[in-house]
Structure 1
Amino acid sequence: MKPQSMLFTIYGEYVRHYGSEIWIGSLTKLMGEFGLSEPAVRAAISRMLRQGWLDSRKVGNRSYYSMSARGKNRLEEAAARIYKVEESDWDGRWCIVSYNIPEERRALRDQLRKDLSWMGFGMLTTSTWISPNNLSDYVKELTESYDIKDHVEMFYADHLGWSDPKELVKKCWNLDEINDAYKSFIDVYRPQFEQMADDLRQNKDVADSYCFVEKTKLVHEYRKFLFIDPDLPQELVPELWLGKEADQLFKDYYALLNPGAVRFFEDAYEVAPEQ
């Protein structure tokens, strides 16, 4: 786990539920559970500040850090996808984004591609991306924040030909590769879940620090699927799709780890002073 990715997980899982702000000393203690030194934590925080993910403030000689508006939006989007409660029927339509960004803004064009992929879009052609989910509001916010509205067009439309919808999906996403990643996740975490469930049935003590570390690792690993799984409706996934099984395993193991993990966080966390 890279320090910056770990910070995203800690903010998303804990800090945003406790006022969204945390003292650097508390972060150092929490991330120390993963063998990270204070200089490594401070370096990761500095990078996130420069990248616009964090805001900071000083109270006396103490530094407090909170997610910026941009960071909060990203965490809310991620949480909505990770902890999705129910699925709605697909209406058969596609969200389409087409762009023509000048070469002199190439870095921004590359960043847009990364963001579209993270949202769940697949590349149909070099500058045309599609998703079976209506993500137009997210795309609007993105294009406005990058000031590229003049270079982007969006549609929410029917597909009239010629590929079958599942064939269209195969052109845009490597579902076999995603399914293999889900299998690897299940192979790693199924034994861990069953072992902990057995320990709890036998009333064995499970340390809160263990729960915090393992839950953070669990969320960190499952969060990676946000970058590769387009969250396709049931109508478009293969018959032997492991996403559902992995999702249920994640929820079950999360439920076992969460109480102890929260207790450990609360022990390390100090309420930030009033503004």
Structure 2
Amino acid sequence: MTSGEEGSERSGRREGRATSAQRADDRARPRGRGEEGSERSGRREGRATSAQRADDRARPRGAAALPPRQLITSLYGLYARDEHDWLSVASLVRLMAELDVDAAAVRSSVSRLKKRSMLQSVRRDGRAGYALSEQTVELLREGDVRIFERPRATADDGWLVVVFSVPESERAKRHSLRTLLGRLGFGSVAPGVWIAPGPLYDEALHALERMDLSAYTEFFRGDYLGVGAATGRVREWWDLDTVDALYREFIALYASARDAPDADPGDAFRTYVPLLTRWRRLPYLDPGLPLAYLPDDWSGIRAGELFAELDKRMRPAADRHAHALLRE
């Protein structure tokens, strides 16, 4: 997504140009949420008082700073698979409205996801909707392991080395291969030579085969026998400082939620979906290196514990709210 596209989506969200369907949804929602409704109205109209703005800064950031496309991906990963990998247009709009994203931004983001072959238009029981593609279902299934189980290698697992060579006439595939290896958590040792903890082999091979890139690669597994300890070299192969900074940012954003009182299902949903959306990219940037190769103050450990605690605490209530919206 280009910066212009993201700006357009965010602008659509800020301006709050609800369609007739959205206004009907708003009228259909239960009343009696006075303070919450007033706060939302104030946010949409830009009339927040100084006290409100200070309160907003003290809370974990919600969905406002996230591209709608990322939120939609999270929602499909959380709830579409219980609905045969499909959500109706009306259901998706209702779920996204809870995150202060209007219908126009939803449809624009879905269009981009369709162009990337992540979603496809499917009608069921006379209702328009979008289904996950087979490839996306597979990606989400693989992602569940990284996102929720956070596997970490040990020093005894050894190293997995990928060597690739792509003809100059197929430069686009070379770029795709580098991008994929980086997304899987591989570090770059030298041009055409990438490294990862040993346990990543099955996931990496499967991903390369799915993208028709395995023919350009060779895999090796073994030990590091270079000069000096591997602990010093991993900082050359991976940008650990950047990953650690992202973990610290996540902790700063959500640490206060650990001590907050239990939220009602609606508030839990509005906190949990952005929480998951921000978290799910981090396990891909972090290759799961053995603790022996990481700094003693590595923030990934604390961030993982924080996410696991908030996931266990918030997800059940968030799920109840989402399923209630899906039944409307």
Per the normalisation by structure 1, the TM-score is 0.87
1:259 aligns with 2:324: no
Change (3 A) 1:133 1:110: same
Question: Is contact 1:55-1:65 (8 Å) kept?
Answer: yes
Give the secondary structure class of the aligned counterpart of 1:269. helix
Matches of 1:88 and 1:239, distance apart in 2: 16
| Structure number, greater radius of gyration | 2
1:248 aligns with 2:305: yes
Structure 1 residue 92 displacement after superposition: 4.5
> Which of 286, 292, 312 is equivalent to 1:235?
292
Structure 1 residue 26 displacement after superposition: 0.4
Change (3 A) 1:122 1:85: closer
Structure 1 residue 255 displacement after superposition: 2.0
2:71 is matched with: 6
Change (3 A) 1:166 1:14: same
Matches of 2:183 and 2:108, distance apart in 1: 25
Change (3 A) 1:87 1:129: closer
1:177 aligns with 2:242: yes
Structure 1 residue 236 displacement after superposition: 1.4
1:58 is matched with: 123
> Which of 200, 209, 226 is equivalent to 2:283?
226
In structure 2, the gaps of 5 or more residues are: 1-65
Matches of 1:172 and 1:88, distance apart in 2: 16
1:215 aligns with 2:215: no
Change (3 A) 1:19 1:158: same
Structure 1 residue 75 displacement after superposition: 1.1
Matches of 2:68 and 2:150, distance apart in 1: 29
Matches of 1:156 and 1:56, distance apart in 2: 43
2:25 is matched with: none
> Which of 253, 260, 264 is equivalent to 1:188?
253
Alignment size in residue pairs: 263
Give the secondary structure class of the aligned counterpart of 2:298. coil
Q: Which moved more, 1:77-86 or 1:121-130?
A: 77-86
1:90 is matched with: 155
- Cα displacement string for residues 161-203 of structure 1 (whole angstroms, at most 9, x for unaligned residues): 22411122111112222222222211221112212xxx24xxx
Structure 1 residue 145 displacement after superposition: 2.9
Structure 1 residue 80 displacement after superposition: 0.2
Partner amino acid for 1:212?
A: F
Change (3 A) 1:79 1:41: same
1:118 aligns with 2:183: yes
1:81 aligns with 2:146: yes
In structure 1, the gaps of 5 or more residues are: 201-205
